[in-house]
């Protein structure tokens, strides 16, 4: 069974979507550990309710990002994690974590990348005035929300929307997309091609439609 380590910072509704997909047999994986960098993160409860180790590693307790990431790596390795899932994890990660899980870190981002990377992506998109918004699941590389895209889902933006109603519509799609892509990974449908001599990696996702 593929073991996932899920990193969160807040509500954890995407974590819950992953756990529900596992419970319902839509995702053949195990969440081996959940780690939050925020001690009060509500999402930890979704793991604890299922008896899954739910740990706090507070970034504020570390002297710099690399030391924090080294602690994450130690903990993920201690739980024999195969793939790391960033599910609303609001920290920039360093090569310490990237190199420990090369092209094995998945992020969900609430915008159609490469538009609107970074924080408050839904608000950025709303304020720009886009007519189509959405979410992206991608592999993490050294940039901010720049890694190879695995799948995207689009939603309409209505004139009656505000940033909050749009965010809710996007989040509902995130809850569908993230477990689906993780199941593709489990099924071995995701191949990463790294060009010799460096350059941007490409992914092949061997599914009929995405
Ligand atoms: C989600 O919308 C996720 O895409 C976003 O944070 C939210 C977390 O919600 N992530 C980012 O913005 C990462 N840059 P959740 O805690 O309920 O899953």
ipTM of the prediction = 0.99
Phi first, then psi, for residue 132 (nearest 5°) are -125, 130
Pairing status of strand 132-139 against strand 149-156? antiparallel
Rounded to whole angstroms, the Cα distance separating 194 from 210 reads: 22
Q: Is 37 annotated as a binding residue?
A: no
Tokens of 102: 């090369």
198 alpha carbon – ligand 1 mean position (Å): 30
Q: Is 152 in the pocket of ligand 1 (CB under 6 A)?
A: no
pTM of the model: 0.97
* Residues 6+ away with beta carbon under 8 Å from 198: none
User: To the nearest 10°, the Cα dihedral for 201, 206, 207, 209?
Assistant: 50
Per-residue pLDDT tens digits of the chain, which is 210 residues long = 999 999 999 999 999 999 999 999 999 999 999 999 999 999 999 999 999 999 999 999 999 999 999 999 999 999 999 999 999 999 999 999 999 999 999 999 999 999 999 999 999 999 999 999 999 999 999 999 999 999 999 999 999 999 999 999 999 999 999 999 999 999 999 999 988 888 889 999 999 866
- Does 109 qualify as catalytic in the annotation? yes
51 alpha carbon – ligand 1 mean position (Å): 23
Rounded to whole angstroms, the Cα distance separating 66 from 188 reads: 31
DSSP-derived secondary structure for 51-110: T--EEE--GGGSSSHHHHHHHHHHHHHHTT-SEEEESS--S---HHHHHHSTT-EEEEES
Phi first, then psi, for residue 5 (nearest 5°) are -115, 120
Tokens of 136: 């992206």
Residue closest via CA to ligand 1's atom 5 equals 88
Phi first, then psi, for residue 93 (nearest 5°) are -100, 160
* Residues 6+ away with beta carbon under 8 Å from 141: 98, 103, 147, 148, 201
């Amino acid at each position: 069974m593929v073991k996932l380590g899920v990193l969160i910072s807040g509500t954890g509704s995407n974590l819950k979507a992953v756990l529900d997909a596992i419970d319902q047999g839509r995702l053949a994986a195990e969440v081996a550990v959940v780690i939050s960098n925020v001690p009060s993160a509500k999402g930890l409860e979704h793991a604890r309710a299922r008896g899954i180790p739910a740990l706090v590693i507070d970034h504020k307790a570390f002297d710099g990002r690399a030391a924090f990431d080294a602690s994450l790596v130690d903990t993920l390795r201690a739980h024999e994690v195969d793939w790391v899932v960033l599910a609303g994890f609001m920290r920039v990660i360093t090569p310490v974590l990237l190199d420990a899980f090369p092209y094995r870190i998945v992020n969900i981002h609430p915008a159609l990348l490469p538009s609107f990377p970074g924080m408050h992506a839904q608000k950025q998109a709303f304020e720009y005035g886009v007519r189509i918004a959405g979410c992206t699941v991608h592999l993490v590389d050294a940039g901010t929300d720049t890694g190879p895209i695995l799948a995207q889902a689009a939603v309409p933006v209505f004139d009656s929307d505000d940033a909050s109603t749009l965010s809710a519509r996007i989040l509902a799609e995130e809850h569908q997309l993230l477990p689906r892509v993780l199941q593709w990974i489990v099924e071995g449908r995701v191949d990463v091609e790294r060009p010799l001599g460096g350059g941007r990696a490409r992914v092949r996702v061997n599914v009929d439609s995405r």
